[in-house]
Amino acid sequence: MAMAMALPYWNISMVAIGMLMAMALPYLMSPSTLSTPTTPSPSTALVPFTLGDLKQKLFPEFHAPHRNFSFPFATNKTTLNISILQQYKANNSGVGSAVWEGSAVLSAFIARRATALFPSHLEGEIVVVEIGAGLGTVSITTSLVLNKLNRRGRIYVSDGDPSCLVQAQRNIRRHNTSKEVIATTHVVRWGNVLDIAPFEPSAYVFAADVVFENEEVDEGGGGGLHGANHAFAALVETFDQLIKHSNLLLLAYKRRRRREERFFNLMNDKGFYKTNVKRRYLHRRYRDLFEIICFSKSNLTCGERLGKLVY
């Protein structure tokens, strides 16, 4: 035990990866390979599988060419059918180049509670901003909802990864056929006020699975969109610029790391009021895994806008 504790961090990581790969070996080889003796070629004799193979087996949904969703709409008499094309990590894109569960959670809520979120007394064009849109699932769902409700809308689909936005734009074109709802893509680097300056005042800000920040040790330190010790502060700064007293943020969140508590502390420091959507209004598949949290700058806004949907 003492020897194991003395190993450098990278040695422990390599041992852990090796153990995972050994455990996954039967699943990475086809039945014919396991049952039929073969003579390995020189190129594969020493490397029967790669770490990339392991990742595809452990996270197949990330590597699928598309993800299909059917979200019940409002009174459950019809559904919104959405097909998202994805190319994970293509053209140096980041983790947003796959559909994360949080976007399905928030999309299902928006579709099912459409009439509560966008009531008839909310007059005029409805403006929505999505932060960390990735492939655009939430924004596309919102555009289809507004079409169903015969409402005019403007949706700002934003992400800090331009390569993801290329894929998002392609998905938007596949779904948005109405001239009454305009969805446009924008590069928004968290914390950069100039990036959001062109946006019109919004009724809602949507975000899903964005509360993520790399650890200092195991994921490369402070670089990238989710760099350690700055991503949360930058994200909170962006929310602070977008949320005023009359609009609100809906955030689909799944707790993964203890350090995420810092994000909520920073939101509190900025004067945000926090309330939760009642779990029974989340899709039953995700009720025990996810929260949908409403943030606003007034302690009344979430209750006034969402009514019985929140605690």
Tell me the pLDDT tens digit for each residue of 274-285. Answer: 999 999 999 999
Across 234-245, average pLDDT: 95
Q: Are residues 96 and 123 in the same domain?
A: yes
Q: Are residues 180 and 301 in the same domain?
A: yes
The angle subtended at Cα 182 by Cα 180 and Cα 131, nearest 5°, is: 140
Q: Are residues 195 and 97 in the same domain?
A: yes
Q: Are residues 289 and 152 in the same domain?
A: yes
Residue 30 above 60 pLDDT?
Answer: no
Residue 23 above 80 pLDDT?
Answer: no
Confidence grade of residue 3 (pLDDT, cut at 50, 70, 90) = very low
**237 domain-assigned:** yes
As for how many domains the chain has, the answer is 2
Q: Are residues 285 and 186 in the same domain?
A: yes
Confidence grade of residue 213 (pLDDT, cut at 50, 70, 90) = confident
User: Does the reported pTM lie above 0.75?
Assistant: yes
Task: Considering only CA atoms, give the Rg of the chain.
Answer: 22
CATH number at residue 136: 3.40.50.150
Residue type, 70: S
**1 domain-assigned:** no
Q: Are residues 155 and 229 in the same domain?
A: yes
Q: What digits encode the pLDDT tens for the residues 170-191?
A: 999 999 778 899 999 999 999 9
Q: What digits encode the pLDDT tens for the residues 261-271?
A: 999 999 999 99
Distance set, CA 101 to CA 45, 104, 205, 253, 294 (Å): 38, 5, 18, 10, 18
Q: Are residues 101 and 119 in the same domain?
A: yes
Cross-strand bridge partners of residue 44: none
Q: Are residues 192 and 261 in the same domain?
A: yes
**2 domain-assigned:** no
**291 domain-assigned:** yes
Q: Are residues 30 and 141 in the same domain?
A: no
Find the domain containing 14 and state its range: 7-54
